[in-house]
Amino acid sequence: MNLAPRFARSDEAPLDPIAVARALHARFDIRAPHEIAIELMAWHCGARVLYRPAGSADARVVRAGDRAILAIAESARGTPRARFSIAHELAHFLLHADFDAIARIHGEPRTSHREFKVEREADRFASEALLPWSLAAPMCEGVTPTLDAVGDLARAFDVSLSVAGQKWARNARGGCAYVESRGGVIRRARRSDGFRGVAVERRKLEEGTLALELERAGGEGGKRVHARAWGSAQAGGEIVEECVTLGDGSAGGAVLTWLSHG
């Protein structure tokens, strides 16, 4: 069952990555997290996954007509990182038949607005393919939005904490936000509609935040309650800040921050 011809059409209007991910789930009748076998789904779409040494690169896709090879870093085999890489490369195969720069190793500099656009589309497809909100929502409703709860969601769908945090914050009804920072600056932020604090991309981290302290000194993570930082004053209540370091946790590394109303 090769689905590539159905989706990868360069002579039609651009495809919506969320709609394509949902169509893929419908075709395979996905009803539970454990049924999202992304490598098998890719194979049925005409894309074969191969694991190989990749150095610092994560993945690469090489297309030949309605077939493709998805080359994934051997070191990531069996991890949420590998699953996301497979889904991301599958998105390029299904969505970007007209884009001649996809046969490259990810991690190299992107030189055009078009490249940034296709990468964002691939990320959106991968997030929905691996963690569809239709299945995640029942697990999140009525649950206090803590970092532990985000971790439970990540484990249920075998995705990273980053993927689960962004999905929850984007779709939650309650007040919460996902933040990634590096070098004292917020690099990525996702806020729920109900979040009343302040979490803005390209904004510097405030003094007194746990995120900034972890960046400077390293460490495993922790929790802090703020009456002023993260826009607590504007929100009219305390903001709970929960942090974990990404990578090896050394000083100067990236920090993942989960914010919620106290």
User: What CATH number has the domain bearing residue 27?
Assistant: 1.10.10
Predicted confidence (pLDDT) per residue in 216-226, tens digit:
988 888 999 99
Largest CA distance in the chain: 58
Per the CB < 8 A criterion, the answer to whether 158 and 83 are in contact is yes
Q: Name the 3-class secondary structure at 12.
A: coil
**pTM, two decimal places:** 0.87
Q: Determine the pLDDT at residue 37.
A: 97
Q: What is the pLDDT of residue 65?
A: 76
Beta bridge partners of 227: none
State how far the alpha carbon of 21 is from the alpha carbons of 7, 17, 27, 45, in Å: 10, 6, 10, 12
Is residue 138 one of the residues assigned to a domain?
no
**What is the phi/psi pair of residue 9, to 5°?**
-125, 115
Q: Is the residue at 141 inside a domain?
A: no
159 in the same domain as 101: no
CATH number of domain containing 163: 3.30.450
Are 67 and 155 within one domain? no
**pLDDT tens digits, one per residue of 164-199:** 999 999 999 889 999 999 999 999 999 999 999 999
Nearest partner of 105 among 44, 62, 141, 156, judged by Cα: 62
Are 45 and 94 part of one and the same domain? Answer: yes
Smallest CA-to-CA distance from 254 within 214, 203, 223 is with 214
Distance CA 207, CA 211 (A): 9
Where in the sequence is the domain holding 43, given as residue range(s)? 4-130
Per-residue pLDDT at 261 exceeds 50: yes
In a domain, 140, yes or no: no
| Mean pLDDT for the stretch of residues 145-151 | 96
Q: What's the mean pLDDT in 69-91?
A: 92
